[in-house]
Amino acid sequence: MNAKKMTTPIEKAVAAANAKPIEGAAKVRLEQNVPFGLAGTIHVLYLDNGLRILLLADRTAPVVAFSTWFRVGSRHEKLGKTGLAHLFEHLMFNETENLKAGELDRKLEEAGAETNAATWLDWTYYYEAVPRDRIGLVIDLEADRMARLVLREPQVKSEKEVVANERRYRVDDDVEGFANELLYKTAFTKHTYGWPTIGWMEDIQNFTPADCETFYRTYYAPNNAALVIVGDFREAQLLERIRRAYGALPRADIPPEDTWPEPAQLEERLVTLQKPTASEKVIVGYHGPALGDPDHAPLAVLSEILFGGRASRLYRALFIDRELASDIRGWPSTFRDPGLYEVYLTARAGKTKDELLAVLDAEIERLRDDPPSADELERAKARLELGGLQALDTASGKAEQIGFYDTVLGDPAGAFRRLEAYRRVDAGDVRRVARRFLARPSRTIVHVVPQPEQAP
């Protein structure tokens, strides 16, 4: 006799959700189960219309974190239409065919939800955290604005004005925001990472409802989205509710990406600007690896050795030994394509760019010549591991990490893969990435100098 095939709880939940007669609704199918840490499992499912669903049960608190990740960011825009992805982050909180402006926020607030959204180069996402008995409301509201957003002239004009003011505040009138934008514009000559996510002001002001409608119908579709749901839920009820809300939404024809690889930078680029700042600032961008590059984790460890806390090399050199700087930071960009390793140095009054760069260059040369000590290496790896684990403390944190790594790398458990990669880094890896990425010809420098005082 053949043994009866065992059915897992998630398979039973899928079967129960599909058994409900919902007219026009796509069916749910289970694609795979992905281990998440020591005890968790992410269930990866799809609706037949292409909507990706990632479920992680977490019953430590009676809450559910729900996020919608769209595989669209400023990298998917065209010259002359920059900032559309970010504009939609605002438009999506506006009016739909079923809800007046402001009503979505009101309903979520009444349900006790925490909610927000974010857009960057590779992605856009919207999230809520709600008491578990209110998750059905969130599903209905999110499905409504995915398919029925109102994009007429009054709605578009109003949000364009909001975004234009945000650009003035965060970029045009902000020293670091302006300098960072200039860094990427100068470092990238071909790739779409060279323009800002918020968009150029002229493009923002010239958007039309037709531009918005085309963007919306292209990218805000179930086959370009993933729902990430973490918390205290019942799988069968949740999947049935998702089928009802999203199952009849049509697929979109997603165009192939149109990005150019960034050519190798062979000479250092230097841009100087005057801004109302108390002292000189230096922002350096070395061309670095994509997040999925095996050398990204070693570069993150290198960055911790240079900048991570009071025991780091550059904190000691710039703050304690020479008293040259008032603020220092380093960060390897976490993008799908190769980005920048960014370094921010703010001089103390009377100190100069050349003094700051001399110390930075000396410390980089040390790492290129000699590997770090065992103590430095272990301290840097421990700091990164602690930060990675802290990001997974809550249901919302888990949902964000799952959505981010799934969207950028196609790996919903990428946060744990990242921790494993940190643990494997050795001293030779750090020296190798210093030699591979931190060469002067491949860097761009933005030098900010204080504006001269105006005569009365």
Q: Would residue 161 count as lying in a domain?
A: yes
Residues, the chain? 456
Instruction: With a cut of 70, say whether residue 454 has pLDDT above it.
Output: no
Same domain, 160 and 286: no
- CATH number of the domain at 305, please: 3.30.830.10
Same domain, 421 and 335: yes
Q: Would residue 3 count as lying in a domain?
A: no
Query: For the segment 162-206, what is each residue's pLDDT rounded down to a tens digit?
Result: 999 999 999 999 999 999 999 999 999 999 999 999 999 999 999
Q: Would residue 21 count as lying in a domain?
A: yes
Residues 6+ apart with CB under 8 A from 324: 318, 347, 348, 351, 355, 356, 359
**326, amino acid identity:** S
Band the pLDDT of 1: cuts 50, 70, 90. Answer: very low
Same domain, 274 and 201: no
Q: What is the pLDDT of residue 24?
A: 83
Instruction: With a cut of 70, say whether residue 96 has pLDDT above it.
Output: yes
- Gap between the Cα atoms of 10 and 40, Å rounded: 13
| Residues paired with residue 119 on neighbouring β-strands, in sequence order | 124
Residues 6+ apart with CB under 8 A from 362: 317
Say if residues 76 and 452 touch (Cβ distance below 8 Å).
Answer: no
Q: What is the pLDDT of residue 267?
A: 97
Same domain, 195 and 299: no
Q: What is the pLDDT of residue 456?
A: 60
Q: How many helices (H) and strands (E) does the chain have?
A: 16, 12
Tokens of 258: 């149109």
Q: Which of 211, 246, 281 is the last residue of a domain?
A: 246
Average pLDDT over residues 110-138: 96
Residue 124: which domain range? 10-246
Q: What is the pLDDT of residue 286?
A: 98
- Gap between the Cα atoms of 203 and 207, Å rounded: 6
Instruction: With a cut of 50, say whether residue 415 has pLDDT above it.
Output: yes
Identify the DSSP state of 194.
G
- Gap between the Cα atoms of 21 and 341, Å rounded: 53
Read off the pTM. 0.95
Same domain, 322 and 196: no
- Gap between the Cα atoms of 301 and 298, Å rounded: 5
Same domain, 235 and 280: no
Least confident of 18-32, 42-56, 361-375: 18-32
- Gap between the Cα atoms of 308 and 419, Å rounded: 17
Tokens of 59: 């019953």
Residues 6+ apart with CB under 8 A from 306: 312, 313, 314, 330, 363, 364, 367
- Gap between the Cα atoms of 167 and 171, Å rounded: 5
Instruction: With a cut of 50, say whether residue 381 has pLDDT above it.
Output: yes
Q: Would residue 1 count as lying in a domain?
A: no
* Total domains present in the chain: 2
Same domain, 208 and 321: no
Q: What is the pLDDT of residue 20?
A: 86
Tokens of 253: 């024809």
Say if residues 437 and 288 touch (Cβ distance below 8 Å).
Answer: yes
Same domain, 157 and 25: yes
Which candidate, 415, 408, 419, 437, places its Cα nearest to that of 292?
Answer: 408
Q: What is the pLDDT of residue 141?
A: 97
Instruction: With a cut of 70, say whether residue 138 has pLDDT above it.
Output: yes
Which candidate, 78, 308, 381, 298, places its Cα nearest to that of 207?
Answer: 78
Instruction: With a cut of 80, say whether residue 100 has pLDDT above it.
Output: yes
Query: For the segment 143-169, what is each residue's pLDDT rounded down to a tens digit?
Result: 999 999 999 999 999 999 999 999 999
Q: What is the pLDDT of residue 26?
A: 87
Instruction: With a cut of 80, say whether residue 295 has pLDDT above it.
Output: yes
Same domain, 225 and 114: yes
Band the pLDDT of 6: cuts 50, 70, 90. Answer: low
**How high is the mean pLDDT of the chain?**
95
For helices 395-409 and 414-424, the axis angle rounded to 10 degrees is 80
